Amino acid sequence: MDTRHFRTLFISDVHLGSKAAKADFLIDFLKYHEADTIFLVGDIVDGWRLKRSWYWPQECNDVIQKLLRKARKGTRIVYIPGNHDEFLRDFPGMHFGGIEVAERMMHEAADGKKYLVLHGDEFDVVVRNARLLAYLGDWAYDMAIMINIGLAAIRRKLGMPYWSFSAWAKLQVKHAVNFIGEFQKVVADEARKHGADGVICGHIHHAVMEDMDGVRYINTGDWVESCTAIAEHGDGTFELIEWRTIGGAVEPAPLALEHLPKRELAQQAA
């Protein structure tokens, strides 16, 4: 498979330090995708889980080394911390190995449109106002991921396709309280307040691109379940890429999510 080059790549919610992180998929993705600029849109390192129990296999080191090598070769890398790696929020403007830390940033696309880039946790009512509840929810999500692993093994033996229990459960709960829709609305409003044409965020692990009352809302998804990234082409158009192959044996088709109805969007994000 040939390497693809983009103007900008946006990646978030890798959760290195979590057993659920698909670091090997991300390493493979970075092998076949280059960009002038890479935005790491929060929760790249999972400080919450590392505090509970240290887990840092070689794949986690490999992801960090891959990014550092890209920085040394001239790729601009901007790290915008999220709630799970909030310890980096104490270092805005600092550079670590060529990786720049910023609380948020306004990105100007090739077509001149401006996009507010942020993680998004500050607009999550649970994270902002009920820290303990957020930690409990994180623990419950860990349990759902463990169920995923068992179900995936059983479904493979039965010749059944992959299905994510954790993504399904998360969507059921959050749809019940209209969480995703409200989050998107509030984040889009924030972009509007800053005079931006759109917003690019992560946090809720729900990959999507859609217009919301004149503001382009783009969510990068995650590298725990969906393995998705946002790519900006040289003309300023955006593509949502899903990566579910190791070794580049099969080139994944880009997801034209903005053309899908919401029910199919939920299935794609899962």
Q: What is the pLDDT of residues 161-199, one digit of tens each?
A: 765 655 656 555 544 445 677 888 899 999 999 999 999
For range 133-150, the mean pLDDT: 60
How sure is the predictor about 207, in pLDDT bands with cuts at 50, 70 and 90?
very high
Residue 42 is encoded by which pair of tokens?
A: 């929060």
Nearest alpha carbon to residue 255 among 230, 234, 236: 230
Lowest mean pLDDT among 88-97, 104-113, 192-201, 237-246: 237-246
C-alpha to C-alpha distance for 223 and 22, rounded to whole angstroms: 6
Q: Tell me, what's the pLDDT at 68? A: 97
C-beta atoms surrounding 134 within 10 Å: 18
Cα 70 from Cα 181, distance rounded (Å): 36
Superfamily of domain 4-269: Metallo-dependent phosphatases (3.60.21.10)
Q: What is the pLDDT of residue 182?
A: 80
236: left (phi over 0), alpha (psi -120 to 50) or beta: left
Separation of CA 251 from chain center: 20
Residue 261 has pLDDT above 80, yes or no: no
pLDDT value for 254: 44
Who wins on pLDDT, 30 or 157? 30
**Confidence band (pLDDT; 50, 70, 90) for 267?**
very low
Q: Which residues of 55-80 are buried (b: 16+ CB within 10 A; e: fewer)?
A: eeeeebeebbebbeebbeeebebbbb
Which of 109-118, 202-211, 225-234, 241-250 is predicted with the least confidence, judged by mean pLDDT? 241-250
pTM of the predicted protein model: 0.77
Residue 153 pLDDT class (50, 70, 90 cuts): confident
In this prediction, residue 157 carries a pLDDT of: 79
Output the pLDDT for position 141.
61
